[in-house]
Amino acid sequence: MTRPISQLALARALAFGLAFASVGTTLGATAVSAKTQEEMPTVTNDMPKPVAEKRPHTYTVHGITVEDPYDWLYDKSYPVVDDADVLQYLNTENAYFEYKMAAQAPLTDALFKEMRARIKEDDSTVPQKDGDYLYWSEFEEGAQYRKHYRKPVAGGEAELLIDENALAEGQEYFRLGAASISQNQRFLAYATDTNGSERYTARIKDLQTGEHLPDVIENLRGDLVWVKGDTALVYGPSTEEWRTLEARMHVIGTPVSEDVTLYKEEDQSFGVGTGLSAQEDWLIIATGDNETSEVRLVPAANPTAEPILVKARKKGVEYSVDVRDGELWVWTNDDHINFRLAKADLKTPGDWQTVIAGSDDFYLTGFDLFKDFYVTEGRLDGLDQIQLRQYSDAAKITPIAFPEASYTAGLSNNPEYAMTKLRLSYQSMVTPGTVYDYDVATGGLETLKTQEIPSGYDASLYVTERLSVQARDGTMVPVSIVMRKDRAEILKQAGIEGPGPLHLYAYGAYGYAIPPGFSTSRLSLVDRGFAYAIAHIRGGDDLGRRWYLQGKLFDRTNTFNDFVDVGRGLIAKGYTAEGKVTASGGSAGGELMGAIINQDPSQYGAIVAHVPFVDVVGTMLNEKLPLTPGEWQEWGNPITDKAAFAYMLSYSPYDQVVAKAYPPMLVTAGLNDPRVTYWEPAKWVAKLRELKTDDNLLLLKTNMGAGHGGQSGRWNSLKETAEEFAFILWQMGMAPQD
């Protein structure tokens, strides 16, 4: 079944700062086509650094004039990118990347092979019951993509629902987006993206006949929700600017041109999402931006009925809802920054009565309703909490306990309303991903699956720590670290004197916490003597909602300062040394990379910035771009607010590049990326090449047929991680010598 949509999750999914969105759509006629290898410049033995032409361009805002000589790299016909000069520059940078990385090909291949050896190739998910069937997905050995199956609970043969490999055949890029089984379990609606633009095409498969219905919905963003009786699907179409401003209904068997709009949002900064209530009797239509929500309800059996407005939007108030036995449940921050849980009568949906009050200590991040109990999730001192509660006694709390001092845990796939066992996920920086069933009646945890590492993994060889480092304003910033217990001996054998290298990672935006989870790829650095640290900096909500608010708008620079100060603190504590910190981040985390090298470049030995949001001012001034209006609540609106413009200009990585030495850098981009458009990293690299005073390596790699998440397919994606780690090891002097 479709669980109700969280408004916070909706806002975050719509925010371009989140890399790797799970839903999206297909660009169609305006899709950017990849350039072929034949069009790339010839690589020679003495290939010079690419130099982008400077073309005079200025703009004036609030009386301040800004020079932007690389504005021409923004193809004004976007989303079509066909400017010959732009494509030539990007292809030249790609050729230079290939040329410089060629000597590291053996290391890249070795890293890829060891990373792949840690992955169980013929892996599968744990089957989960939903109605009359058990559903699961699996990889076949060597396959890039999954196959999705089901079989009757009563017994019978497995039935192939979707073969992603077949759908991806002949495509440079493929991603499966939303997928939804009809309530009678006969039909499967699913959406696919074949260029990374996050505009999906939806189709409907009749699981009885194996044939596809003639219905095809193009230009889709968001979920696919079946209404009562399975006569129609509710979906979110995309505007030309990649915004989802409608909840639209398609009646099966009718022309898409006749689809009915159930709700249309007029505010361009808001985004619309849909879901079903716990008992699947109400369609929930949620709209909101990064800080404000508004929800409407319509009967799932009569979706064109007059919607019930739960409560009119009020700036800064977020809420999401569910319905059980005609009673409305509400999660909201209306009277406490860390959210409360409330109830209301559907006849008076805006009259919210507190069930669980907001707390300074406990950060309530969400709730799920089931037939005989409900579950709250949140964080206490930055650690995940899962709590069972009774409808008859909200004060009676049954916490689910986990064995480690630092971990990440949460509800997993729980599709049915009448669950007696809860599916949970758990991992830590030293414990591989584990799937549990929690028996609600007995409180017992049953291990269903632990991530298998075919090449071998011994957790006893590693140690994880959680410590706090003081930032310059006195704030204590949590840090999670993992390393080998014999790290000193590994470094000695590698001929490294003194403290070893440390890789520092963070995100720091949109209230998105980076959990201290497990990574098999990370082991390729850790086993070579790196310490690996996650800085839980402000801008995320690791320590509660206030932690997030202290890293946005006019407090944005706290995020950058925290990261720099964590690195400096770890140097002071002896984990690493000056120039031995490597760092990486993507999207808004890529903005972080740009800011920290402007502030403290000597700390870092190598930087990797994936699809970095670095032209902050230029993007936030361009309201025609896909997500700009929705981002003003996160960064500020420089069009109307002079103070916001000046503050943004003071930290925007692209605008703050100056003539000084910068560390070695690898920068990535996606030509079809609607979240961080390709020209942001391209302009940034061009300006860095012009102004930096060092001879350190600077590389730009643009995926010409992909978007925000890089290449698709598990092996293609893993190869890019191997390239990243090869670059880091090379720049740290740890690559094998000929």
Amino acid identity of residue 115, one-letter, is: M
> Nearest 5°: CA angle at 190, between 185 and 192?
165
What's the confidence (pLDDT) of residue 709?
Answer: 61
| Residue 342 and residue 333 in contact, taking contact as beta carbons nearer than 8 Å | no
What are the residues whose beta carbons fall under 8 Å from the beta carbon of 327, sequence distance 6 or more? 343, 344, 345, 346
DSSP-assigned letter for residue 468: E
Strands 665-670 and 604-610: parallel
What's the confidence (pLDDT) of residue 710?
Answer: 61
Interatomic CA distance for residues 736 and 178, integer angstroms: 44
Choose, from 293, 610, 673, 712, the residue flagged as catalytic. Answer: 673
What's the confidence (pLDDT) of residue 144?
Answer: 85
What's the confidence (pLDDT) of residue 31?
Answer: 30
Six token digits for residue 600: 């403290």
Each residue's pLDDT tens digit, 265-322: 999 889 999 999 999 999 999 999 889 999 999 999 999 999 999 999 999 999 999 9
Using DSSP's 3-state secondary structure scheme, residue 141 falls into coil
What's the confidence (pLDDT) of residue 526?
Answer: 97
State the 10-residue block means of pLDDT for the chain, 738 residues long.
38 31 25 36 69 96 96 93 95 96 96 94 94 94 91 94 93 90 94 87 95 94 90 92 91 95 93 95 94 96 96 96 96 97 96 96 95 95 92 88 88 94 95 95 93 95 95 97 95 89 97 93 96 97 95 97 98 96 96 98 97 96 87 94 97 97 96 87 97 97 75 79 96 86
Interatomic CA distance for residues 79 and 677, integer angstroms: 9
| Residue 582 and residue 606 in contact, taking contact as beta carbons nearer than 8 Å | yes
- b or e along 111-134 (b: 16 or more beta carbons within 10 Å of the residue's beta carbon)? bbebbbebbeeebebebbebbebb
The residue whose two tokens read 């603190």 is 569
Choose, from 293, 587, 652, 712, the residue flagged as catalytic. Answer: 587
DSSP letter for each residue of 725-738 = HHHHHHHTT-SPP-
What's the confidence (pLDDT) of residue 692?
Answer: 97
What's the confidence (pLDDT) of residue 394?
Answer: 75
Interatomic CA distance for residues 525 and 412, integer angstroms: 29
What's the confidence (pLDDT) of residue 19?
Answer: 31
What's the confidence (pLDDT) of residue 714?
Answer: 75
Choose, from 197, 542, 708, 712, the residue flagged as catalytic. Answer: 708
Task: Please state the separation of Cα 251 from the chain's center in Å.
Answer: 32
Interatomic CA distance for residues 369 and 157, integer angstroms: 33
673 is catalytic: yes
Q: How far apart are the first and last CA of the chain?
A: 57
Q: Whole-model pTM?
A: 0.89
Interatomic CA distance for residues 488 and 504, integer angstroms: 19
What's the confidence (pLDDT) of residue 223?
Answer: 87
Using DSSP's 3-state secondary structure scheme, residue 500 falls into coil
